Structure 1
Amino acid sequence: MDFKIFCGHTDIENVPRFLKRISDISSNNGTIIQAMNAEKIAGEKHIVFAIEKALRAIDNKSNAANDSGIEIMRYAAGKRQIGDAFSMGLHEGEMDLVFVVLGNPESISASIASLEKLISSKNVIEYGPGKRDAILSQFDIGEKEIEAAGEEMIPDLVLERVALVDLLK
């Protein structure tokens, strides 16, 4: 299955209504779309690694979630429990978000064209100091761990948490 990552900024007035619009785009185009809070994504490597791990789990029938999008979010969140993965979800108000769109190339392009109407396209995926606190909290990374590894290793510590999801099953 092919996938594309699309990100940007928006102001969400009503989360259920916003999710319904995403669901409609997904249904109309025959794609799977998962939206996540970009503030908790530590770069493109993080999201691609999570997608690959989730798709591999689905192929191996070792997935915890029946929904591919939720399985991707579970890995991206570095969480074993499905409920805990929703910490990567959307919230009302202004926010940066990342969409993972899965399907065939034409369907993905059609879905992204529709998603572009919901958000202002902007690269918000890369790790930066503005994401530090949200990421440390999301992935339970402590100051002692950062002292030992180094500040520049935070994105790698996130990848480690994603990799550990399988070991915690």
Structure 2
Amino acid sequence: MDIRLVEGSIFIDELRPYLGRLSAMASEHDVIIQGVNADKVAGREHVDSAIIKAMRSMDNGTNVANDLGVEIMRYASGKRQIGEAFSIGLMEGQMNVLFIVIGETASVEGAVIDLSGSIEPSSVMPYSDSKKADIVSQFCITTDELDAVGDEKIPDLVLERVALVDVLK
């Protein structure tokens, strides 16, 4: 199983047809492709943690979603409910995006090439101050928490929320 991340910016004119094209691309390459809003991602560790927890839940049969991509979104979003997990998903307009591609190596490579051709590549995954408002809102991080630990701990607070997805049922 190979996992690759493709990051950059994109303009999505209409979401539903775009998601249809992503689904067709995933089927064509026999891979899972999950897109997330990179402005709500607090770095590589956040993404890796969500992927590991989602894969583990699928293996253990404790998953809520029947689709690995949606299960990854549940963890990445810090939300237990599938409907709420889409809050970290793709949206119409200009956005920073992170695609998670999972499958056999040769298949993943083909999908990554196709995805890379449709986005403007840039490093949008690392946490930065420009993401603070989106992340604080997404993960319901309180002013009291920030006062106690400081803004530099936001990525750690996000990891805590990812871990709590399993606990808060």
Structure 2: unaligned runs, 5 residues or longer: none
Task: Tell me if 1:47 matches 2:17.
Answer: no
Question: Given the two structures, how large is their TM-score scaled by the length of structure 1?
Answer: 0.98
Tell me the distance in 2 between the aligned counterparts of 1:84 and 1:63.
15
Q: What corresponds to 2:37 in structure 1?
A: 37
Tell me the distance in 2 between the aligned counterparts of 1:150 and 1:130.
16
* SS across alignment from 2:61: coil
Q: Could you list the per-position Cα deviations for residues 17-46 of structure 1 after superposition, in whole angstroms to 9, with x for gaps in the alignment? A: 111111111000000000010010000100
Question: How is 1:27-106 mapped onto 2 (pairs within 5 angstroms)?
Answer: 27-106=27-106
* SS across alignment from 2:165: helix
Tell me the distance in 2 between the aligned counterparts of 1:17 and 1:135.
27
C-alpha displacement of 1:89: 1.1
Question: How is 1:75-154 mapped onto 2 (pairs within 5 angstroms)?
Answer: 75-154=75-154
* SS across alignment from 1:76: helix
Tell me the distance in 1 between the aligned counterparts of 2:120 and 2:21.
16
Structure 1 residue identity aligned to 2:105: P
Structure 2 residue identity aligned to 1:108: V
C-alpha displacement of 1:2: 2.2
Tell me the distance in 2 between the aligned counterparts of 1:116 and 1:20.
17
Q: What corresponds to 1:17 in structure 2?
A: 17
What is the percentage of aligned positions where both structures have the same residue?
A: 49
Question: Given the two structures, how large is their TM-score scaled by the length of structure 2?
Answer: 0.98
Instruction: Give 4+ residue runs of structure 1 displaced > 3 Å after superposition.
Output: none
Structure 2 residue identity aligned to 1:129: D
* SS across alignment from 1:156: helix
Q: What corresponds to 1:2 in structure 2?
A: 2
C-alpha displacement of 1:116: 1.1
Structure 2 residue identity aligned to 1:160: E
Structure 2 residue identity aligned to 1:107: S
C-alpha displacement of 1:90: 1.1
Structure 1 residue identity aligned to 2:157: L
Tell me the distance in 1 between the aligned counterparts of 2:107 and 2:82.
27
RMSD: 0.7
Tell me the distance in 2 between the aligned counterparts of 1:102 and 1:58.
14
